[in-house]
Amino acid sequence: MALTSDEMNYLVYRYLLENGFTHAAFALGHESRVDGAKVAEGDEKIPPGALIAFTQKGLQYCEIEANLNDDGTDVDADFSILSAKD
């Protein structure tokens, strides 16, 4: 299952709105033409904080993968998004 770019844009748009970045949300709304009707529908379905939740989960998953040795044992090391090296 893959995210469409519309779905991705909408998740980002919701993130901007929910975090008070009103100018960025306004600009993205017009630049990406996030459809108003669809947005109204989606509002009910996507819980607040969705983008953060997915990103967080994806990051943990990456971390788990990065920390697994070939023999399946865990590696004791920190994982950072901004300086991912393990």
Residues that bind a second copy (CB under 8 A): 1-3, 5, 7-12, 15-16, 19-28, 30-32, 41-42, 45-46, 50-63, 78-84
CB 62, min distance to a second copy, A: 6
Whether the Cβ atoms of residue 34 and residue 6 lie closer than 8 Å to each other: yes
Instruction: State which H helix or E strand residue 36 sits in.
Output: helix 36-45
- Cα dihedral sign, 61-65-68-72: positive
Contact criterion met (CB below 8 Å) for 13 and 29 = yes
Tell the smallest beta-carbon distance from residue 72 to a second copy (Å). 18
60 or 72, CB closer to a second copy?
60
Closer residue to a second copy in complex, CB, 4/73: 4
